[in-house]
């Protein structure tokens, strides 16, 4: 499987420790292949991904995968437009 495009996303974790809020951000990579999209915890068959969209919220972006099992959101710091366009080229080829 060759990588066609990648995009970094973050998972924000908030916990209360000793009466103080601790915030951690872990970075992961979404990888676009010819037949699937891979995230840290899941693999999406390209035939089951109907659309991909994104929105800017404050300083971050939310990338949405519209799949046969619902919508999955990924929070990202960088504009995911190039990743979305790569997906759309594969989908409409």
pTM over 0.85: yes
Q: What are the structural domains of the chain?
A: 5-91 (2.30.29.30)
Polymer length in residues for the chain = 93
* Distance in angstroms (rounded) separating the CA atoms of residues 88 and 44: 15
Q: So what's the pLDDT on residue 54?
A: 97
Lowest-confidence pick of 16-20, 50-54, 66-70, 80-84: 16-20
Is residue 44 very low, low, confident or very high in pLDDT (cuts 50, 70, 90)?
very high
Helix (H) or strand (E) holding 63: strand 60-67
């Amino acid at each position: 499987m060759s990588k066609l495009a990648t995009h970094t996303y973050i998972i924000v974790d908030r916990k209360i420790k000793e009466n103080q809020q601790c915030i951690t951000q872990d970075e992961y990579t979404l990888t676009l292949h010819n037949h699937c999209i891979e995230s840290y915890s899941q693999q999406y068959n390209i035939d089951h991904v109907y659309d991909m969209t994104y929105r800017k919220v404050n300083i971050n972006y939310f990338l949405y995968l519209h799949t046969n099992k619902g919508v999955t959101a990924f929070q990202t710091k960088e504009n995911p437009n190039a990743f979305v366009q790569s997906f759309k080229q594969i989908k409409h080829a």
